[in-house]
Amino acid sequence: MRVGEVKRKTKETTVEVRVNLDGSGEAKINTGIKFLDHLLSSFAKHGSFDLRLKARGDLEHHIAEDSMIALGTAINKALGKKEGIRRMGDAFVPMEDALVLVAVDLSGRAYAEVDAEFAKKRLDDLSSDLIEHLLQTLAANARLNLHVKVLRGRNDHHRAEAIFKALGMAMSEAVSKRPRAKGVPSTKGAL
């Protein structure tokens, strides 16, 4: 089992996270931000990751951001040396009117391109401008290359949720084992 655990405490927040990349999609998320819990549960479900995350803190922005710092760090820990994995993964995920493309490369080089805009300022109890920031933060801390493109969609909830479903699907593919591969999937010999 590839498991990563992080406990992170600052003056602003306390976050505990445990991720099992070889899980079955069981999520127990409690950040105090219901829409973020919903998005992270979707990510875990469609990635078949077991994810436990508990966060407390002062401000919505801090709690959401620090949750993603801890989650990204835990994913990076769980990946270890990345031997025998596919490394890249992608997914097109529809959710009614919304259609989203996510592609990832577990390259060890943090880089994110996120093309996602929202009509409303709030997605229930989460500020919509945080979505791009949270994806950037995840990529930086999991040290992955992430591309997110919302291709269409009128409903903000669907657009946001489809992103996290697609992220789960793409990550699930990227972390999966490649039967014929030997060692680390890089001509450099390390990632």
**Footprint on this chain of Mn ion (rule: CB under 5 A):** 161
Q: Give whichever of 144 and 163 is closer to Mn ion, judged by the CB atom.
A: 163
- Least distance in angstroms from the C-beta of 144 to Mn ion: 25
110 near 171, Cβ under 8 Å?
Answer: no
Please give the residue whose beta carbon sits closest to Mn ion in the complex.
161
Return the number of other C-beta atoms located less than 10 Å from residue 103's C-beta.
19
- Least distance in angstroms from the C-beta of 167 to Mn ion: 15
- Least distance in angstroms from the C-beta of 155 to Mn ion: 10
Instruction: State the Cα–Cα distance between residues 51 and 185, nearest whole angstrom.
Output: 26
Q: Give whichever of 105 and 161 is closer to Mn ion, judged by the CB atom.
A: 161
Contacts of 171 (CB under 8 A, 6+ apart): 43, 47, 49, 75, 89, 104
Which tokens go with 169? 């699907």
Helices assigned H by DSSP within 48-129: 60-79
- Least distance in angstroms from the C-beta of 42 to Mn ion: 7
